[in-house]
Amino acid sequence: MTNKRLITIPLLVILAAGLVFIWQKSDRTIEIDSQLAQLIPVEGEGLSPLSGLSCQNYQQRPLAIVLANDPVTRPLSGLSQADLVIEMLVITNSITRLMAFFVCNQPEKIGSLRSARHDFIPLAQGLDAILVHWGGSHFALDKLDAGIMDNIDALKNPYNSFYRDNSKPQPHNGFTSIDRLTSAASKLNYRSTNLFEGYSFIKENNQGAVNRVLGIGYSRPYYVSYQYDSGTNSYLRYRDNLREMDVSNDKQIEAKNIVVMRVFSKQIEGPDYNDLDLEGGGDCQIYQNGVVLDCTWQKSEIKPFSKLKFVDSDGQEIPFVPGQTWIEIVEPNQEVTWN
How many angstroms separate the CA atoms of 98 and 203, rounded?
A: 27
Domains of the chain: which residue ranges?
4-32, 63-187, 213-338
Per DSSP, which regions of 82-153 are E strands?
Answer: 84-89, 96-102, 110-111, 130-133, 151-153
pLDDT for the residue numbered 5: 26
* CA gyration radius, the chain: 21
Note whether 154 and 161 are within 8 A (CB). yes
**Looking at the domain covering 213-338, what would its CATH class be?**
alpha beta
Q: Is 213-338 the same fold as 63-187?
A: yes
pTM, two decimals, is 0.88
Instruction: Write down the CATH number for the domain with range 63-187.
Output: 3.50.90.10
How many angstroms separate the CA atoms of 115 and 73, rounded?
A: 14
pLDDT for the residue numbered 240: 92
Roughly how many angstroms between the first and final C-alpha of the chain, as a whole number?
A: 27
pLDDT for the residue numbered 134: 98
pLDDT for the residue numbered 273: 86
How many angstroms separate the CA atoms of 136 and 155, rounded?
A: 9
pLDDT for the residue numbered 43: 76
CB-based contacts of 332, cutoff 8 Å, min separation 6: 262, 263, 264, 282, 283
Q: How far is CA 2 from CA 25, 26, 31, 95, 145, in A?
A: 9, 10, 13, 54, 68
pLDDT for the residue numbered 269: 83
How many angstroms separate the CA atoms of 199 and 300, rounded?
A: 16
| Distance from the Cα of residue 114 to its chain's centroid | 18
pLDDT for the residue numbered 37: 44
Q: How far is CA 94 from CA 111, 225, 239, 245, in A?
A: 21, 16, 14, 22
Q: How many distinct helices (H) and strands (E) make up the chain?
A: 4, 26
pLDDT (tens digit, 0 to 9) for every residue of the chain, 339 residues total?
333 323 233 333 333 333 333 333 233 223 334 444 445 778 778 999 999 999 999 999 999 999 999 999 999 999 999 999 999 999 888 899 999 999 999 999 999 999 999 999 999 999 999 999 999 999 999 999 999 999 999 999 999 999 999 989 999 999 999 999 999 999 999 999 999 999 999 999 988 889 999 999 999 999 999 999 999 999 999 999 999 999 999 999 999 999 999 999 998 887 778 899 999 999 999 999 999 999 999 999 899 899 999 999 999 999 999 999 999 999 999 999 999
